[in-house]
């Protein structure tokens, strides 16, 4: 009986990993995910147009842009991870002002860098492009990417359900 439970748990874990990989591919191909309704696309306190001449990005903003792209994230994906409006990400990428202090730790984690590197980058460090999932997971995401969007959405719903189930079991 214990052997069957272990095998079932292992199979469930593999299915979850497979579905998560599919989800990542789908998100990369289908475009930015929808933001929850409680996150407004605009922030009243943030100026819509930073004082920057067209085509010239300040060093701080350029660094943030490069780190975000190296992490393989869109502005909307990063904003969703940070639970802030994506307009804030756009503002910080076109501004010489750093992100707010309450956002910095999570942003650094999402971008795969230290907070210090996010604020005061050293010029000798190159920004390494992060790679996505490899092996079987990557192949699964590529297969889902080729599916119609309606099927992709069903897979996403299944992934979220499985993730919630595993979180409840872990608690």
Q: Which residues of the chain have pLDDT under 50?
A: 37, 42, 52, 123-124, 132-134
CB 129 within 8 A of CB 84: no
Encode pLDDT of 14-39 as tens digits.
776 777 677 666 666 555 555 554 55
* Domains of the chain by start residue, with CATH: 2-170 (1.10.260.40)
Rounded Cα distance, 150 and 65, in Å: 32
CA 14 to each of CA 7, 42, 43, 125, 131: distance values in angstroms, whole numbers, following the listed order: 11, 40, 41, 37, 21
Tell which residue, 67, 167, 150, 158, has the closest CA to residue 111: 67
pLDDT confidence of residue 134: 43
pLDDT confidence of residue 153: 83
């Amino acid at each position: 009986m214990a052997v069957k439970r272990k095998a079932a748990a292992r199979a469930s874990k593999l299915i979850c990993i497979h579905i998560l990989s599919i989800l990542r591919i789908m998100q990369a191909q289908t475009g930015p995910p929808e933001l929850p309704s409680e996150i407004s696309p605009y922030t009243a306190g943030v100026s819509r147009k930073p004082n920057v001449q067209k085509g010239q990005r300040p060093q701080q903003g350029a660094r943030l842009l490069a780190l975000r792209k190296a992490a393989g994230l869109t502005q909307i994906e990063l904003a969703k991870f940070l639970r802030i409006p994506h307009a804030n990400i756009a503002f910080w990428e076109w501004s010489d002002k750093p992100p707010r202090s309450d956002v910095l730790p999570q942003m650094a984690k999402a971008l795969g860098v230290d907070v210090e590197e996010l604020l005061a980058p050293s010029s000798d460090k190159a920004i390494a492009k992060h790679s996505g999932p490899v092996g079987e997971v990557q192949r699964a995401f590529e297969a889902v990417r080729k599916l119609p969007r309606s099927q992709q959405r069903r897979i996403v719903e299944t992934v979220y359900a499985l993730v919630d189930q595993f979180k409840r079991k872990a608690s």
